[in-house]
Amino acid sequence: MINIQSLTFGYADHPPLFQNFNWKITRGETWAILGPSGCGKTTLLYLLAGLKFPASGSAQIDGEHITRPRPQSGLILQDYGLLPWSTVRENVALGLNVRKFYGADGKHAPDDFIPKNNIENWIQRLGLGEAADKFPAQLSGGQRQRTAIARTLVLEPDLLLMDEPFSSLDAITRDDLQRLTLSLCEEKNIILVIVTHAIEEAAALGKKILLLGTPPNQNPRIFENPNAGRDGYQNTSDFQDLCRELRNEMQTRSAQ
Judged by CB under 8 A, does residue 109 bind another protein? yes
Tell how many helices (H) and how many strands (E) occur in the chain.
Answer: 7, 10
Q: Beta-strand (E) ranges in 10-49? A: 18-25, 30-34
Select from 99, 146, 174, 208 the one that contacts another protein (CB under 8 A): 99
Q: How far is CA 181 from CA 12, 141, 153, in A?
A: 35, 15, 10
Asked if 118 interacts with another protein (CB under 8 A), we say no
Q: Is the peptide bond before 54 cis (omega within 30 degrees of 0)?
A: no
**Interacting residue with another protein among 102, 103, 120, 247 (CB under 8 A):** 102
Nearer to another protein, 62 or 85 (CB): 85
Binder among 62, 85, 103, 115 for another protein (CB under 8 A): 85
Closer to another protein by CB, 75 or 211: give it: 75
Q: Is 11 among the residues that bind another protein (CB under 8 A)? A: no
Q: Is 101 an interacting residue with respect to another protein (CB under 8 A)?
A: yes
Cα-to-chain-centroid distance, residue 85 = 24
User: What is the rounded CA–CA span in Å between residue 146 and residue 132?
Assistant: 11
Question: Of the ranges 130-138, 200-208, 209-217, 238-246, which one interacts with another protein (CB under 8 A)?
Answer: 130-138
Judged by CB under 8 A, the number of residues near another protein is 36
Give the distance from CA 71 to its chain's centroid: 15
What's the angle, vertex CA 119, arms to CA 117 and CA 120, rounded to 5?
A: 105
Residues 31 to 60 in contact with another protein, rule: CB under 8 A: 46, 49-51
Site residues for another protein, 160-179, by CB under 8 A, read 161
- Interacting residue with another protein among 77, 123, 169, 195 (CB under 8 A): 77
CA dihedral sign of residues 107, 112, 117, 118? negative
Q: How far is the CB of 61 from another protein (least distance, A)?
A: 14
